[in-house]
Each structure stands twice: as structure tokens, then as C-alpha cells.
Amino acid sequence: MIGSHMLMAALEKQMASVSINDVQKRYGSYHALKGVSTQMADGEFVVLVGPSGCGKSTLLRMLAGLESISEGTIEIGSRVVNDLRPKDRDVALVFQNYALYPHMTVEQNMSYALKLMNTPKSVINEKVGNAARILNITELLKRYPRQLSGGQRQRVAMGRAIVRDPQVFLFDEPLSNLDAKLRVQMRAEIKQLHQRLKTTVVYVTHDQVEAMTMADKIVVMRDGIIEQVGSPIELFDRPRNTFVAGFIGSPSMNFIPGSVKDGLFVARAGVHLPLPDGARVDAVTYGIRPEHLKLGEAGFPADVIVIEPMGSSTQIIAKVAETVITVLSTERLALQPGSTIYLTPHVESVHLFDPGGQRIES
């Protein structure tokens, strides 16, 4: 009996995929989401990333049931949830400002959802105890939110989600209110938590570093549409357009305008850049990441504007043919602003884009 029960539970868990089909959102005349489709597999860690106003939070809130869906369908598991209230969707949401109930202790915060479901007291205690142990907040259970630090509040907010054992975890910029050091630490903890719980996660952030480090799959959004979906490495290696290319990766990719002539890319001021074999002639943008530019005696010249030593590497801001570019070098350099450097691009890592900003596959 117990065996079959566990099997049932396992099967139910397996159904926690998310399917978003041509979803649109209108606020009056404002078209916030213009037809978005993507699939999220069970247990996948999906990050929605994009600049503010791109619709990523709206999409997450539609998943949670906090915003209505103007058109299209959203499925969680095998159920279409369009008309289900938040309480019936079996999702948990972690808010940017944590949204802890200020008049309840940590323990009461975490057990509130279970109490609403009339869960027996002993089960509540066990689940809250377990979640507290996982998150290392057992000694905080009797405290009130105002007595906690930012990082502790963040943990409690996650604890409140974990005790629910939901089909899908939703995170809305959960680390934005933390200081830089804590953010890095919590980033790793959330990822670890996901590896342990193996529940589907949809995570919204504007920070591409968070997206890269945490995601199994990244959904890049802009102006209410999806620009590209893929694994972090796919997006990094093969960005579909200049937007994704510029958004993913830090420091950002350099874009140099120009045209293809005689197997070379000719930028303004007559600077010639090498191209991979068989490059198409309609390329007008030459994309190269800062770490794929090599300093040396030969290559194209650039005038140094600013040098930013970061310890393990040095970032050089320089000017090539009226375009400001960034170069990343791991060597210790004795450069001065105003001096001229010579750069050689790693030809295999060159990205070319057509006049519409779309990637040209070579």
C-alpha cells in the first residue's frame, strides 16, 4: 500500500511541467505580453531574464494566478490553470520584498498555508521543522520578521514556500534586496535547494549573472516577447540576435559596425578585422566578446581610454574605429590611458549579425 502511494506521489510530481501557449497580456491599450510560448520540463530550473518592463514579472504573476490571462493558456502539470485561483494552482511564490506576515512568528509564517488546508498539527510541526532544518533557521522559529536580517527573511520566505511542497516554485527577483556578498551566497543556496528538492522552478531576474549561474534553461525576454530560449551555454555561444548577445555575458559583447569586403570585415576608419571562413557578405555587425580579444604586437589598433584592474583580470575600455569596446585580459598589464594596443580576435568566437540584428550562422 505504502509502495503504491509513493508511486502515485512520484507520478504526480512528474506531472509538474509548465506549458505556456501563446500567452498575451493587455492592460487597456498597453500590450505587455505579445504572445509568449515556452515549455518547462518537470524539475527544470527556468530563469526568465530581461530588462525591466520586458514582461517577465507579469508572466510569473500570471503563472501564480495574480494576473489574469488575456489570451492563450497556461498549463501546470496537465491542468489548464487560466481560470484557477492562486490557492488552487499548487504553486508557491517567493517575493522580492519577502512579503512575510509581520504579525506572525517565523513558525506561524511557515505554517499558515498548511493551517488553511486543515493539516493536522503534528504534520505541520514536522514539515516546518524539516524546512527549517534544510534552511538552517531552526533557532529563528519563534522570532518575528522584524527581528531578522535580510538574508534570514529571505530564508524564511523560502521556508514558507518549501513547507507547501508545491508543484512549482516561483521566484520574483528574490535576491534584489540583498547586498552583493549575500546575493552570491543565497544564489548558491537556492541552486543547492533545487538540486535537493528537484521541483520545477521558475525564477525571474534582471541580472544575467544570476540567470547564467542558476538556470538549466534561460528564457530571454524583451518588450513582451521571447527573444531566445536555451541553456546558459547555448545562449552564450550562439545568441540568436544582437539583443541576446549583448544581454548575456559580462562584460557585454562588443559590437563593431562595418561591412564584409574580400573576406575581411571592414569597420569605419579603414580598420580590417579577420572573419571566419565562408562568412556571408551581408553581415553588418561584428560581435566579439571582451575575453576573445587577445593583446599582442600584431592585430588591429585601439586607443586605451580607461583601465579597470579587477585583480584576477583587467578590463580595458578602448576605442576602435569610433566604437568603444571592452577587452578582458588576465595578464598583468602596464598600460596608460591614451596608449595604443593591438588586438587579435579569436576568429572561431566571432559572431556576425545581419542588418536586422539577426545572427548569421557560418
Partner 1 sequence: MIKPIQANRVASRTILYILLVIVLLFMAFPIYYMVITSLKTPSEAYRLPPTLWPQTLTVESYPFVIEAWSYWRTLANTILVAGTAALAATILGGISAYGFSRMEFPGKAILYGMLVATIAIPGMVTLGPIFLAYKDLPLLDTHMGLILVFAAEFIPVAFLTMFSYFKAIPKELDEASAVDGSRLIDTMFRIIFPIALPGFAVTFLLLFIAGWNDFLFAFTLTITPDTRLLTVRLFEVPVREGVNRTPYDLIAAGGVLILLPLIPILLRVQRQLVEGVLAGAVKE
Rounded CA-CA distance 279/263 in Å is 7
Verify binding: residue 65, partner 1, rule CB under 8 A. Answer: yes
Question: Which of 174, 147, 158 is closest to 110 using CA atoms?
Answer: 158
C-beta of residue 21 within 8 angstroms of C-beta of residue 37 = yes
106 binds partner 1 (CB under 8 A): no
Strands of the 314-320 sheet, one edge to the other? 293-296, 340-345, 300-309, 314-320, 323-329
Question: Binding of partner 1 at residue 62 (CB under 8 A)?
Answer: no
- Is 56 a binder of partner 1 (CB under 8 A)? no
> Whose Cβ is closer to partner 1: residue 161's or residue 211's?
161
The stretch near partner 1 (CB under 8 A) out of 9-17, 30-38, 58-66, 294-302 is 58-66
Distance, in Å, from the CA atom of 124 to the CA atom of 129, rounded to the nearest integer, reads 8
Of 104 and 347, the one with the shorter C-beta distance to partner 1 is 104
**243 sits near partner 1 (criterion: CB under 8 A):** no
- Residue among 80, 84, 99, 264 that touches partner 1 (CB under 8 A): 99
27 binds partner 1 (CB under 8 A): no
Among 116, 180, 298, 310, binds partner 1 (CB under 8 A): 116
Closest contact distance (angstroms) between CB of 196 and partner 1 is 22
Please identify, among the stretches 93-101, 205-213, 226-234, 322-330, the one whose residues bind partner 1 according to the rule CB under 8 A: 93-101
Q: Which stretch in 34-42, 85-93, 209-217, 297-305 sits in contact with partner 1 by CB under 8 A?
A: 85-93
d(CA 166, CA 109): 16
Q: Which of 23, 81, 106, 113 binds partner 1 (CB under 8 A)?
A: 113
Q: Is 277 helix (H, G, I), strand (E, B) or coil?
A: coil
Q: Quote the CA–CA distance of 2 and 171 in Å, as a whole number.
A: 33
Asked whether 171 and 203 are in contact (CB, 8 A), the reply is: yes
Binding of partner 1 by 3 (CB under 8 A): no
Q: For residue 24, what are the β-bridge partners?
A: 34, 71
Report the interhelical angle of 106-116 vs 121-135 (nearest 10°). 130
85 sits near partner 1 (criterion: CB under 8 A): yes
DSSP 263-294: TEEEEGGG-EEE--TT--TT--EEEE-GGGEE
Q: Of residues 39, 112, 272, 354, which one binds partner 1 by CB under 8 A?
A: 112
The candidate with the shortest Cα–Cα distance to 352, out of 267, 251, 271, 250, is 267
Interacting residues with partner 1 between 143 and 202 (CB under 8 A): 146, 160, 164
Q: Which is nearer to partner 1, 100 or 245 (CB)?
A: 100
Span interacting with partner 1, options 22-30, 82-90, 180-188, 327-335, rule CB under 8 A: 82-90
Interface residue with partner 1, options 35, 43, 66, 246 (CB under 8 A): 66
3-class secondary structure, 34: strand
* Cβ proximity of 153 and 98 under 8 Å: yes
Residue 84 found at the interface with partner 1 (CB under 8 A): no
Give the distance, in angstroms, between the CA of residue 256 and the centroid of all CA atoms in the same chain: 26
Tell me if 65 sits within 8 A of 36, measured CB to CB. no
Using the minimum distance from each CB to partner 1, give the nearer residue, 103 or 133. Answer: 103
Binding to partner 1 by residue 123, rule CB under 8 A? no
Residue 17: all three cell numbers together = 511541467
Give residues 254-293 in contact with partner 1 (rule: CB under 8 A). Answer: none
Report the interface residues with partner 1, using CB under 8 A. 64-66, 85-87, 91-93, 95, 97, 99-103, 112-113, 116-117, 146, 160, 164
